[in-house]
Amino acid sequence: MFTHKDAADTLLTFAAKYPLLRRLHDSGINLINFQDPRFLDKQAVSVCESTHFVNLERIEQLVSLSRSLCLDRRVIGAYSQNELGLSAAASVNEAFGFSVRFNKPQAVLNTRNKLRLRELIGFGHDGNSSGSLWRACSNAAALRAFVDEIGSRFDGIIVKPIAGVGSLGVKQLRNVEEISTMVFPREGLLAEAFIHGNQYSVETFTFNGEHRLICVNREINADSLAPNGFVQIGHMLPIHFDEQLLSSVTRVVFDALNMVGVEHGPCHTEIVLHDSEIYIIEINTRNGSSPLPEMIRLVTGVDVYGLSIDWFMKNGASLRFQIATDVAAAVRHFTPPAGRVKAIHGVERALALNGVKAISIKVRPGDIISPIYSAFDRIGYVIATGHSAESAFQCCSNAAGLIKFVLED
């Protein structure tokens, strides 16, 4: 359990959410949080000394602002476990030489920038040569040429922003006619072969460059349930690979973490298994998004939040498993229609189901539910346990089905 004894210390946090901030606050650390105003969390504001609404991509301005805040405080470091804040935290730590364990800005950039990731690792097993499975496209002509070369070898083409987060802007091309309607940003788009197969996340922790496997999690995408079918709406733990497959997955992922420069802390690496090959979709130098850390704690006994903070603060962290082999866990995010909420029914019935551990709903009557174009549009979830990952996910789905979001006409 993470504890901190000196209440005079201040920690700068970037894009931090309430669960993490609550734990830090309760330990006695003063918190200054930098947040994108689009993702205001009133609970998070309540546990911080101050909250600054900023553009988290303007790194030089954030370093300058951090410098001014350090003048009359004993600031011990900059921390983030959110895609939006990782680059800023890494840059502030480097600029001030804080004595913390956090990945360098280059390692964060290598994973945040999708083109840079492909240039370094390809899909993890295929080398990094552009053209065979992926290509940066600056215009419609370049994208059409790539589509022609891929042909029917894969199940279509995925187009994504080069510096995207939360699956925002990820699109599958259904036909070539769609290309003429696409808008290409100045930096271009990344086109990739659509690798069909089951998707997993490999949860790891790195101690001074030594990678350790925590678990493998099955990911369920929205598919036809949302405008962006690549947004994840479910997770299942544990997933049991045979010894040979697990060894191969671990080797491919660890090699990729080395190539991008991961030295410290948690990583959430998404892979797809297709025709006995392992394809790395993306690497994130952070914990999996909430509530995946709670699932991991339920199934393995590993407190990834506490472990991450302890390692960052040099508190003598180590990876200790307390595995309950008869426990499985799952999460199912809600996928309601868009509109203004009039009422929400069925929460108490859902909570009463055997196996349901928690239900989180971010909207209230009067709030607007947006179409799910990215992970940021998800409005809540059910987390449940069971005797198997499949039974836990079924419990989540049953509970989610009992909850009705009534919309205004």
User: For 159-180, what is each residue's pLDDT tens digit?
Assistant: 999 987 766 778 888 778 888 8
Local structure of 276: helix, strand or coil: coil
Does residue 30 have a pLDDT over 90?
yes
Give the model's pLDDT for residue 166. 64
CA distance 183 to 134: 19
Does residue 318 have a pLDDT over 50?
yes
Please state, as a whole number, how many other Cβ atoms lie within 10 Å of the Cβ of residue 148.
9
In this prediction, residue 258 has a pLDDT band, given cuts at 50, 70 and 90, of very high
Does residue 2 have a pLDDT over 60?
no
Mean pLDDT of 102-128: 88
Give the model's pLDDT for residue 6. 47
Burial class (CB in 10 A: 0-12, 13-18, 19+), 14: buried
CA distance 243 to 246: 5
Question: What does the pLDDT look like over 371-394, one tens digit per residue?
Answer: 998 888 999 999 999 999 999 999
Strand partners, 220: 234
Does residue 118 have a pLDDT over 80?
yes
Give the model's pLDDT for residue 365. 97
Q: What is the mean pLDDT of the chain?
A: 90
List every span in the chain annotated with CATH 3.40.50.20. Answer: 9-99
List every span in the chain annotated with CATH 3.30.470.20. Answer: 198-407
Question: What does the pLDDT look like over 31-65, one tens digit per residue?
Answer: 999 999 988 888 899 999 999 999 999 999 999 99
Does residue 155 have a pLDDT over 70?
no
List every span in the chain annotated with CATH 3.30.1490.20. Answer: 112-193
Q: Tell me which fold the domain 9-99 belongs to.
A: Rossmann fold (3.40.50)
Task: Identify the H or E element spanning 339.
Answer: strand 339-345
Give the model's pLDDT for residue 352. 98
Structure tokens at 151: 């042909």
CA distance 24 to 79: 11
Mean pLDDT of 294-311: 91
Domain 198-407 CATH superfamily: ATP-grasp fold, B domain (3.30.470.20)
- pTM for this prediction: 0.92
Give the whole-number percent of the chain exceeding pLDDT 70: 92
CATH class of 112-193: alpha beta
Please state, as a whole number, how many other Cβ atoms lie within 10 Å of the Cβ of residue 57.
12
Give the model's pLDDT for residue 168. 73
Q: Which of 188, 208, 172, 204 is closest to 270 using CA atoms?
A: 204
